[in-house]
Amino acid sequence: MALGDLMASRFSSQSPVALVSSHYDHYPSNHEDDANDVARRDDNNTSNNYRDRDSDTASTSNYGGGNATESTTTTTTNSTAYLPQTVVLCELRHEAFEASVPTGPSDSGLVSKWRPKDRMKTGCVALVLCLNISVDPPDVIKISPCARMECWIDPLSMAPQKALESIGKNLSNQYERWQPKARYKVQLDPTVDEVKKLCNTCRKYAKSERVLFHYNGHGVPKPTANGEIWLFNKSYTQYIPLPVSDLDSWLRTPSIYVFDCSAAGTIVNAFMELHDWNASGSAGSMRDCILLAACEAHETLPQSDEFPADVFTSCLTTPIKMALKWFYKRSLLCDSLDYSLIDKIPGRQNDRKTLLGELNWIFTAVTDTIAWNVLPHDLFQRLFRQDLLVASLFRNFLLAERIMRSANCSPISHPMLPPTHQHHMWDAWDMAAEICLSQLPSLVEDPNAEFQPSPFFTEQLTAFEVWLDHGSEHKKPPEQLPIVLQVLLSQCHRFRALVLLGRFLDMGPWAVDLALSVGIFPYVLKLLQTTTPELRQILVFIWTKILALDKSCQVDLVKDGGHTYFIRFLDSLEAYPEQRAMAAFVLAVIVDGHRRGQEACIEAGLIHVCLKHLRGPVPNDSQTEPLLIQWLCLCLGKLLEDCTEAQIQGLQADAPAIYAPLLLEPQPEGLCCICTGHLA
């Protein structure tokens, strides 16, 4: 049986908020006679009841005119119902064993599957803008008034070359908000040779990291039927086609492409055909090639001045601004709110206490939730948890689909995503956006005015709590799980979110795996650095559930110094014994077969902490929690196992003398744990 099985089953029915210690009464031998007397009295009473019941049954049967056979049958049936009930195999060890057999980590097949595989980052970004400002492509007939804004700049408001440079700089800045550590290269109205040099340079710099290639083709014709994109010759007198096969050979993989132009779907189709033709290794190379395109092969980009000309790029790189401008014209606020104020939203995107930060936080939670609920989990992991920049682009791609479909334009991607533009979580975003925007005039007028947070997260936590009251493994998973992850970032919601998360994890290994798959692990790992007292008990409970499922987390805990958190909790006398037993279990898993974990815990003084608490209790004392003694012994045993340094320290601390009185432990499972620790 795996180390976590018994612990997981032992606490499967415990409340994660207030775990009250359970104490077991051990009756001394002089109580046996009293127990026998009670048993005799029960037997006599039972016999009398049988006689009374039999006579009543017989008279009732005869009174009803029944025959002898019916009378006998009735008597036998009723007498059987009153046989004394003998309850066996009801000790703690029996319940724990039965509960742990079908749900152990080794049998569940869940261990470590939640971890994102092949974590990656985008190391270089190539931005190619083919705008040819003031010259319209020959295949485009523009309406009037027409969409003109590129990266929120009107190209006709300044000299063409200056406008081109400003747009390129703005686009680079917009991408840098999502991945500031990447290297950015911009090519403005380039030739084929310049793009080739750009791609080779980016791949050389990125090495095995991902390269992003962004193409804006608003100043050139639509892609050809073969999926070729257009560039320029040196004198800007001709459009020169660039086959996607050349582009693919220069950038190679891993890569992500963004194509913002009309008929962008033809480029995606060309990539698909290209990789289908390359039979050898096509699946692997196409898997590392991600495509985002503004529209399908037969569609043209929106020209209405309601949108910027680069509406697809604006959704991907400035989602909050684009979402609010689009929502404003469909909201009742358009009659009372000045449209220009949207450009003056105060705050920073990474500061959740400001209006802009709150909106960005809610938007991330909404888009993450939509993706989590509509995508297969392996695809969600790949697109939303593997690469920070890719995750941001795909969150914003969901917004692009919503906005551009309102203009009869359908963005597409590879891997292909199911439609999400009508998901009901967009209604929650609209409400939150309206509440935040209603405060905008007062916040702009008075910079010292206090911002009132949206009730979005409180309401979503309430919805999650309702699911916990009625949900189960056999029902649809709670859609608010990604929001719980986001709420852990906020101090005002953190305690409630952790308590609800603990309740969810307590539902079984499937719930723990689901929470880990959504990305909860780095958040609860980071929370071990906090010193907030009220979070200690629930964090220990959560980590008990995680390690009962996946022992491999021991490496992460030691690497981040998380083991010291549990040693301090174990040494605290303020917590209930059962809660400290959980900490002992966590530490036992940390040192189980993990030399680095053993060394770290020895250095942190775990041996002396365990022996100190084993020295104090008396096994037959009714106030002693047997579970704490068991896990202290198991923890110490695993710490000493195959570790000479720990064994020497244990002998120097007089561990054998401390263990000797514990051998009087009456419960067999407790005695086994003590012997395990003693023999180690």
CATH number at residue 308: 3.40.50
Pairing of strands 255-260, 229-232: unpaired
Q: Which domain holds residue 207?
A: 116-317
Question: Which tens digits make up the pLDDT trace of 265-284?
Answer: 999 999 998 877 444 444 44
What is the per-residue pLDDT for 95?
Answer: 53
Is residue 41 in some structural domain? no
d(CA 265, CA 267): 5
Q: What is the pLDDT of residue 30?
A: 40
Same domain, 151 and 282: yes
Mark whether 161 and 206 lie in a shared domain.
yes
* Higher per-residue pLDDT: 567 or 23: 567
Question: Average of pLDDT values for 535-551?
Answer: 94
Nearest to 247 by CA among 302, 299, 305, 187: 187
Domain-located, residue 533 = yes
- pLDDT exceeding 90 applies to what percent of the chain? 54
- The torsion defined by the Cα of 438, 442, 444 and 446, in degrees rounded to 10, comes to -160
What mean pLDDT comes out for the span 470-494?
91
For residue 429, is pLDDT > 70? yes
Q: Give me the mean pLDDT over the 173-181 stretch.
A: 93
- Domain check: are 436 and 476 in the same one? no
pLDDT tens sequence across 314-353: 999 999 999 999 999 888 888 888 888 999 999 888 888 8
Within a domain: 391: yes
Asked if 295 and 361 sit in the same domain, the reply is no
Token pair of 679 as six digits: 């023999």
In this structure, the answer to whether residues 430 and 557 fall within a common structural domain is no
Residues 347 and 296 in one domain: no
Would residue 628 count as lying in a domain?
Answer: yes
Average pLDDT, the chain: 81
Q: pLDDT value at position 497? A: 95
Residue 57 falls within a domain, yes or no?
no
Mean per-residue pLDDT, 4-21 = 45
- The answer to whether 147 touches 302, Cβ cutoff 8 Å, is yes
Percent share of the chain, pLDDT over 70: 77
516 falls within a domain: yes
For 12, 547, 550, 554, 646, the CA distances from 599, given in Å and listed in that order, are: 31, 19, 21, 13, 8
Burial of residue 423 (CB within 10 Å: 0-12, 13-18, 19+) is: buried
Note whether 468 and 500 are same-domain residues: yes
The residue-averaged pLDDT of 417-430 equals: 95
For range 429-453, the mean pLDDT = 89
> Rounded to an integer, what distance in angstroms lies between the CA atom of residue 171 and that of residue 231?
19
Phi-psi group of 213: left, alpha or beta (phi > 0 → left; psi -120 to 50 → alpha; rest → beta) = beta
CATH number of the domain within which 626 lies: 1.25.10.10
Least confident of 108-112, 131-135, 612-616: 108-112
Please report the pLDDT score of residue 20 as a whole number. Answer: 33
* Domain end marker among 317, 344, 370: 317
**Pair 382, 438 in one domain:** yes
Task: Select the more confidently predicted residue: 507 or 2.
Answer: 507
399 and 481: one domain? no
Asked, for residue 53, whether it belongs to a domain, the answer is no
Per the structure, the count of domains in the chain is 3
Return the pLDDT at 31.
40
Instruction: Please compute the mean of the pLDDT values over residues 160-172 and round it to a whole number.
Output: 96
Nearest to 662 by CA among 610, 628, 614, 624: 614
Q: Which residue has the tokens 């992460």?
A: 556
Q: Are residues 244 and 382 in the same domain?
A: no
pLDDT digits (tens, 9 = 90+) for 365-412: 999 999 999 999 889 999 999 899 999 999 999 999 999 999 999 999
Say how far apart CA 161 and CA 284 lie, in whole Å.
42
| Lowest model confidence (mean pLDDT) among 120-129, 354-363, 671-680 | 671-680
Question: In this structure, are 447 and 470 located in the same domain?
Answer: no
The pLDDT score that the predictor gives to residue 49 is 44
- Give the residue from 454, 476, 510 where a domain finishes: 454
Residue ending a domain, choose from 395, 429, 454 = 454
What is residue 112's predicted lDDT score, i.e. its pLDDT? 55
Q: What is the mean pLDDT of residues 243-263?
A: 94
3-class secondary structure per residue, 52-89: HHHHHHHHHHHHCCCCHHHHHHHHHHHHHHCCCCCCCC
- What CA–CA distance (Å, rounded) separates 128 from 604? 54
Please tell me the predicted confidence (pLDDT) of residue 643: 80
Is 380 among the domain residues?
Answer: yes
The answer on 341 and 312 residing in a single domain is no
Per-residue pLDDT of 567-619, as tens digits, reads: 999 998 888 888 999 999 999 999 998 899 999 999 999 889 988 888 765 44
pLDDT given at position 660: 63
The tens digit of pLDDT for each residue in 26-55 reads 333 344 344 344 344 444 444 444 344 444
Question: Is pLDDT above 70 for 174?
Answer: yes
Mean pLDDT of 53-70: 39
